[in-house]
Amino acid sequence: MHQNKGLLFSALILIEVLSLITIWSTAPELFMSQLAFVIVGIIVVYLLGKSDILLLLSLGKTFYIISLILLILTMLVGKNIRGSVRWIDLGFFNLQTSEIIKPLLAIFYSSYLAKLNKINWKQLFIFLGIAFIPVILVAIQPDLGSALALIFLPLALLTVSGQLRKILIMGTVFVAIALPLESKLLKPYQRQRIETFINPYSDPKGAGYNVIQSTIAVGSGKIIGKGVKLGTQSHLNFLPERHTDFIFASYVEEFGLVGSLALFLSYIVLFRSCLYGVKRLRDNQQTLLSLSIFFLFLFQFLVNVGMNLGIMPVTGITLPLFSYGGSSLLSFAILVGLLNRQLDLITPFEI
């Protein structure tokens, strides 16, 4: 095993162990199901570690079509949970399609952009048109967090492909058009989230409640935390979604600053592993795939931690490989499996 892979898997093991401990502490009734998801994720990582990356990249269009089919099926036969239709009931498991399509689209975008030698305005509009179809379908569910992740990924890939100037021009035009239509584009609860982000104490018992309780939990953890099963915000049910969106706050309350630094270090190792192949993989498709994996992990990490700390709006996005949920874990396990295979394609000397 390459040294880099050894560090990567050590970091991943630590992330999963800390995740399971936090779920066992805050929602013990969900521990066994999350453990089962972790075991399935390990199998997925192993199998994809033996896969043919170039073959998978050649199936990019197929994966894109599968993604659209899954999203359309969700609209037609999806399960409504708390006003959102994001899941397909498989009987033994509720599949959240907005999560599972992320690695599929990462493969497609990487293969698509790699085939473009020089991206002109026409090619840019075509690519963005293709990329925004799944974004719209996810936003309709509605799943704002995943929609933002699916917007960020193609824009980030275009930026590293030398299209920053075009992206900035288009962004300026979009903002100029969208601002006057803000009242029609945003649902009331989405607008309320933005207003609450600016000043959560304007509605401390309503829209600002989640952020306030999350920041209280994080602050009360202090240096070494209160200890496992001793977090008051989570165990007294003050902290909402303590095992999913706000699991980071639950974790920091019990493990403190020391625990958060250990978790951050593990994610830094993961990010570093993603970037390792960028300059070492000879195939442009594989380079873009490594960047896609990095961007998806980085975006969700920053947004989730940011909203737990009260410095970003609440978007309902998971902490990769840490939050409770089979669909999210499976989605990022696929990305880790692809990364695992990518690292195998780099010789030990290059690593």
Long-range contacts of 1-7 (CB under 8 A, 24+ apart): 2/343, 2/344, 2/346, 2/348, 2/351, 3/351, 4/273, 4/276, 4/343, 4/351, 5/273, 5/340, 5/343, 5/344, 7/269, 7/273
pLDDT by residue (tens digit) across 289-325?
999 999 999 999 999 999 999 888 888 899 999 999 9
pLDDT of 185 strictly over 90: no
pLDDT of 137 strictly over 80: yes
pLDDT of 271 strictly over 80: yes
More confident residue, 119 or 235: 119
Q: How confident is the model at residue 349 (pLDDT cuts 50, 70, 90)?
A: very low
**Rounded to whole angstroms, what are the CA distances from 219 to 99, 148, 248, 253, 318?**
30, 28, 12, 7, 21
CA triple 345-346-349, angle to 5 deg:
145
pLDDT of residue 186: 66
pLDDT of 247 strictly over 90: yes
pLDDT of residue 40: 96
CA triple 151-11-259, angle to 5 deg:
95
| Average pLDDT across the chain, whole number | 88
Q: How far apart are alpha carbons 151 and 159 in whole angstroms?
A: 13
Q: How confident is the model at residue 262 (pLDDT cuts 50, 70, 90)?
A: very high
Q: What is the mean pLDDT of residues 271-285?
A: 85
Q: Where along the chain do its domains lie? A: 3-344
Residues present in the chain in total: 351
pLDDT by residue (tens digit) across 59-88?
999 999 999 999 999 999 888 877 788 889
Q: How confident is the model at residue 225 (pLDDT cuts 50, 70, 90)?
A: confident
Which of 135-144, 174-183, 208-217, 294-303 is the least confident region? 174-183
pLDDT of residue 199: 66
Q: What is the mean pLDDT of residues 171-195?
A: 70
pLDDT of residue 25: 93
User: pTM of the full predicted structure?
Assistant: 0.91
Query: Which residues have CB under 8 Å from 292's CB, separation 6+?
Result: 106, 107, 109, 110, 153, 157
pLDDT of residue 182: 61
Q: What is the mean pLDDT of residues 248-253?
A: 94
Question: Under DSSP, is residue 336 helix (H, G, I), strand (E, B) or coil?
Answer: helix
pLDDT of residue 351: 45
The DSSP string of 123-145 is HHHHHHHHHHHHHHHHHHTT-HH
pLDDT of 249 strictly over 80: yes
Q: How far apart are alpha carbons 287 and 275 in whole angstroms?
A: 9
Q: What is the mean pLDDT of residues 211-219?
A: 89
